[in-house]
Structure 1
Amino acid sequence: MITDADWSELLYTRATDPGAVRRAYAERVRRDRLLSKRGTLFLVAADHPARGALGVRDRPTAMAHRRTLLDRLLVALADPDVDGVLATPDVIEELLLVNGLHHKVVIGSMNRGGLAGARWEIDDRFTAYDAQSIVDSGLDGGKMLLRLVDSDASTAPTLEACAKAVSQLARRGRMAMIEPLPYHRDAAGNLVQDPDPAALTRAVTVASGLGATSAYTWLKLPVPAEAAVLDATTLPVLVLGGPPSDRVADDVAGWAGALRHPVVRGLVVGRTLLYPPDDDVAGAVEAAGKILWATASGAPS
């Protein structure tokens, strides 16, 4: 947890020593592998605020309070089952400045320009890390969001930008994590995620083919309604947590089936674990770690 002294020091450093960020990147002790010894990967996600997605259940600005967010992230990262974090530069740099990322996998979020609720939301510009800055910062990979809306031409530039990012990351030997999600617009023009397994299967195949090589590509996917969706790829998959419900136990149990599939390597979960209904972050993270241990396929036998 962040003490008052730690918080004061962080704020003072932010105001007086911007070079501390560069030094913190350089001094981070990197882990020598992506996967844990059991062949899985468990990341905590905190890139929502940069896209303006701040709400959790009935709390519309839950993720806006930065000290609380950092405190919850540090609690999660302290769990030995948590391998690392997925976040934008601001969050990663603050965790670095409080020494929270040594021996952890760190994935930089790349495109956050499709602001939640914006008219241009599908044209998801790359506004955070790029491939070179991920390498220069000593990060382990980059993540990109790819929402597919056939009726919206703004999907095309995002597709192209993601393909370029995949190629650029691969040339530098870094993981490219793509989150492909099928969407459509309802009668009111609002974006709605398509629950049809066939639509998600199609999204998987589209994302798998992006870039000059798929050698470094991973997929970040919601739990599919049908396990056959996961049969559409040989790429390693991480299951995302999805919108949190009122019971962490129900959310965690819902991930179990997907975690048993051999292409699934682990979890990338944010709000469900960082903002559980009872605010017991450590307990929520522990429950997720247990279900991963119990169900993930891991390394070949």
Structure 2
Amino acid sequence: MADVSGHDDVRDGDREGAGGGVRAGELADVRAARPEAIAEAAAARRRRSGPPGASGRLLIIAADHPARGALGAGGDLTAMADRRELLDRLCVALDRPGVDGVLGTPDVIEDLLLLGVLDGRLAIGSMNRGGLAGTAFEIDDRFTAYDADAIAASRLDGGKMLLRVDDGDAATVRTLEACAGAVSALARHRLMAMVEPFVAHRVDGRVRNLLTAEAMIRAVSVASGLGVTSAYTWLKVPVVPEMERVMAATTLPALLLGGAAGGPGEVRDGWRRALRIPGVKGLVAGRALLYPPDGDVRAAVDAAAELL
């Protein structure tokens, strides 16, 4: 596997979780013989006090891509396919100063709980993963992972949902309605609702997000109005030209998502400029930090943390 800066590979069966959790090589055995261990680990996890934004700017590591069938990073179409390697990279990232937490689907969050590496970290549950990448039904992004009640029961810190508005696809309205319901349900539990909005359309049959200021202003405006209250809503937005105009469209706190296009320097420059805008409260980055071109996860995460 790629260099991850000297940390042990979780595929080593003798390595134990940093917080005293199970050995990585025992994950399948524990899941098979003691499935209740997941709930026990969730109940025992030491949580942060106060709302997610109470500690200042945030750096969240995103790892919910595989559940939507999006396994590629850089030029490798199956970079995220090896689960133990992904977990190893996540453990490296979560161990770095300045990292606040992780965003993932139940399988990933539960592996990390069993490994014992989420104490004192934020854990955000990814909710709608039904719009599988590259499919005819991609815009119909149904809620197939966490729901608000499960997030609350697992003592997580919030939920994240993807909202793509395609004017030419009637399935958009189902996703809009489901996201509005999730925002409302999370608010009832007083938990963060992280909404990732885009205006999208199909090009040669594939869904593409429109990354212009005008498109993102529209997406942000629609997302800001979802649910019975916006009190607990945060936005997760890409860096696009004229970000000042985009952020002027809302008073909700926003986190910048990691860029897949361009080199690491170009991505960091975009983050640096956008982080100067009032309302931008940090980063949610996944592949850009977990699978950097040089394989050095530690350096990539540290460089992102320095921006905050």
Normalising to structure 1: TM-score of the pair?
0.94
How far did residue 249 of structure 1 move? 2.4
How far did residue 244 of structure 1 move? 4.8
How far did residue 197 of structure 1 move? 1.0
Q: What per-residue deviation string (whole Å, max 9, x for no partner) do you get for residues 159-190 of structure 1?
A: 0000000001101101100000111122x222
Q: What per-residue deviation string (whole Å, max 9, x for no partner) do you get for residues 50-108 of structure 1?
A: 00000012111111100000000010000120000000000000000010100001100
SS of 2:80's partner is helix
- Work out whether 1:200 is the aligned partner of 2:216: yes
- Work out whether 1:275 is the aligned partner of 2:291: yes
SS of 1:117's partner is coil
SS of 2:164's partner is strand
| Structure 1 CA distance for aligned equivalents of residues 265 and 32 of structure 2 | 41
| Structure 2 CA distance for aligned equivalents of residues 254 and 88 of structure 1 | 27
How far did residue 271 of structure 1 move? 0.1
- Work out whether 1:97 is the aligned partner of 2:128: no
| Structure 2 CA distance for aligned equivalents of residues 76 and 35 of structure 1 | 20
Q: Is the 8 A contact 2:197 2:236 kept in 1?
A: yes
SS of 1:184's partner is strand
2:18 equivalent in structure 1: none
Candidates 106, 116, 124, aligned match of 1:107? 124
| Structure 2 CA distance for aligned equivalents of residues 280 and 116 of structure 1 | 27
How far did residue 146 of structure 1 move? 0.1
- Work out whether 1:35 is the aligned partner of 2:53: yes
| Structure 1 CA distance for aligned equivalents of residues 277 and 295 of structure 2 | 30
| Structure 2 CA distance for aligned equivalents of residues 255 and 249 of structure 1 | 10
RMSD: 1.1
SS of 1:64's partner is coil
| Structure 1 CA distance for aligned equivalents of residues 68 and 266 of structure 2 | 27
Candidates 93, 107, 121, aligned match of 1:76? 93
How far did residue 195 of structure 1 move? 2.2
1:141 equivalent in structure 2: 158
Q: Is the 8 A contact 1:244 1:271 kept in 2?
A: no
How far did residue 36 of structure 1 move? 6.0
| Structure 2 CA distance for aligned equivalents of residues 254 and 229 of structure 1 | 14
1:4 equivalent in structure 2: 13
Q: What per-residue deviation string (whole Å, max 9, x for no partner) do you get for residues 254-283 of structure 1?
A: 211111111000000000000001110000
| Structure 2 CA distance for aligned equivalents of residues 10 and 158 of structure 1 | 34
Normalising to structure 2: TM-score of the pair?
0.92
| Structure 2 CA distance for aligned equivalents of residues 10 and 196 of structure 1 | 43
Q: Is the 8 A contact 2:151 2:159 kept in 1?
A: yes
1:189 equivalent in structure 2: 205
- Work out whether 1:222 is the aligned partner of 2:238: yes
SS of 2:221's partner is helix
Task: Give the structure, 1 or 2, with the largest relative contact order (CA under 8 Å, sep 6 or more).
Answer: 2
How far did residue 14 of structure 1 move? 1.9
Q: Which amino acid aligns with 2:292?
A: P
| Structure 1: tracts of 5 or more residues without a match | 293-301
| Structure 2 CA distance for aligned equivalents of residues 48 and 266 of structure 1 | 20
2:5 equivalent in structure 1: none
Q: Which amino acid aligns with 1:28?
A: R
1:171 equivalent in structure 2: 188
| Structure 1 CA distance for aligned equivalents of residues 213 and 124 of structure 2 | 28
Aligned residue pair count: 289
2:36 equivalent in structure 1: 19
2:104 equivalent in structure 1: 87
| Structure 2 CA distance for aligned equivalents of residues 36 and 168 of structure 1 | 22
Q: Is the 8 A contact 1:164 1:211 kept in 2?
A: yes
Q: Is the 8 A contact 2:97 2:302 kept in 1?
A: no
Candidates 258, 265, 268, aligned match of 1:252? 268
1:61 equivalent in structure 2: 78
1:297 equivalent in structure 2: none
Matches within 5 A, 1:40-55: 40-55=57-72
Matches within 5 A, 1:111-126: 111-126=128-143
